[in-house]
């Protein structure tokens, strides 16, 4: 009788894992969340009624206050008509006095270094006093010039470099101190400025001074 050794047993095959349903997969969940957010949030960040309400409120706010609705320096506000050249006008920590305006120059500088106006230069002579309790920086670039039509003109920072006194670019003024400075504007030839709006910072409300 022949002896046959037992055959080695083969390991049982590993069970095949069941596939995860597609709605439980990560990519499907991410897409679902994005779709829900897109549906829940209206385009434009709000409803038409909210938008209309906000616009109406803004219009009512401007229209109800003549001083706020009129362009600063246009001559329509009580404040701009009450404060003129040579009179103090305060905004924040600064008290301003406009000493005069010169719009006769089309070139600033000397024979070696100078700049030419696109139209004409209006140079506003200012005295700035710090009436606050801490140091405050004066930037001439924060000032805005207006004409009788309400057009706004920004300061010409480059032209200020060619002035003998360039303190209007930047100067820190301590409490109780006074700064004499000039701000330059490049305006169309023949334009007559009606007012200037002065600020103690880029974020202040500003004060208008009539120039006529």
Q: Are residues 44 and 95 in the same domain?
A: no
Q: What is the mean pLDDT of residues 38-42?
A: 52
The whole-model pTM stands at 0.62
Q: Are residues 124 and 147 in the same domain?
A: yes
pLDDT at 24 over 60: no
Q: Are residues 175 and 97 in the same domain?
A: yes
Residue 70 lies in a domain: no
Cα–Cα distance for residue pair 202/138, rounded to 1 Å: 10
The angle at the Cα of 88, spanning 83 to 89, to the nearest 5 degrees, equals: 65
Half-sphere exposure of 136 (CA within 13 A, CB side): 24
The owner of tokens 């880029």 is 202
Radius of gyration for the chain, computed over Cα atoms and rounded to the nearest angstrom:
35
CATH of the domain at 121: 2.60.40.1240
**For residue range 144-170, what is the model confidence (pLDDT) as tens digits?**
999 999 999 999 988 988 987 767 778
Residue 12 lies in a domain: no
Q: Are residues 164 and 103 in the same domain?
A: yes
Q: How many domains does the chain have?
A: 2
Domain span at residue 32? 22-64
Look up residue 194 and give its DSSP letter. E
Cα–Cα distance for residue pair 69/90, rounded to 1 Å: 20
């Amino acid at each position: 009788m022949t002896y046959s050794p037992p055959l080695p047993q083969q390991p049982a095959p590993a069970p095949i894992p069941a596939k995860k349903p597609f709605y439980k997969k990560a990519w499907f969940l991410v897409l679902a969340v994005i779709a829900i957010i897109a549906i829940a949030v209206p385009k434009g960040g709000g409803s038409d009624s909210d938008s209309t309400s906000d616009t109406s409120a803004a219009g009512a706010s401007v229209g109800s206050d003549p001083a706020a609705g009129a362009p600063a320096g246009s001559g329509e506000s009580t404040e701009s008509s009450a404060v003129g050249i040579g009179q103090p006008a305060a905004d924040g920590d600064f008290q301003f006095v406009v000493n005069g305006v010169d719009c006769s120059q089309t070139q600033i500088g000397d024979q070696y270094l100078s700049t030419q106006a696109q139209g004409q230069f209006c140079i506003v002579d200012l005295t700035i006093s710090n009436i606050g309790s801490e140091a405050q920086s004066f930037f001439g670039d924060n000032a805005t010039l207006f004409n009788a039509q309400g057009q706004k003109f920004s300061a010409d920072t480059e032209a200020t470099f060619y002035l003998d006194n360039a303190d209007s670019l930047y100067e820190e003024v301590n409490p109780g101190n006074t700064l004499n400075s000039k701000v330059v504007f490049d305006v169309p030839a023949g334009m007559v400025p009606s007012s200037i709006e002065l600020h103690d910072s880029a974020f202040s409300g500003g004060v208008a001074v009539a120039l006529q």
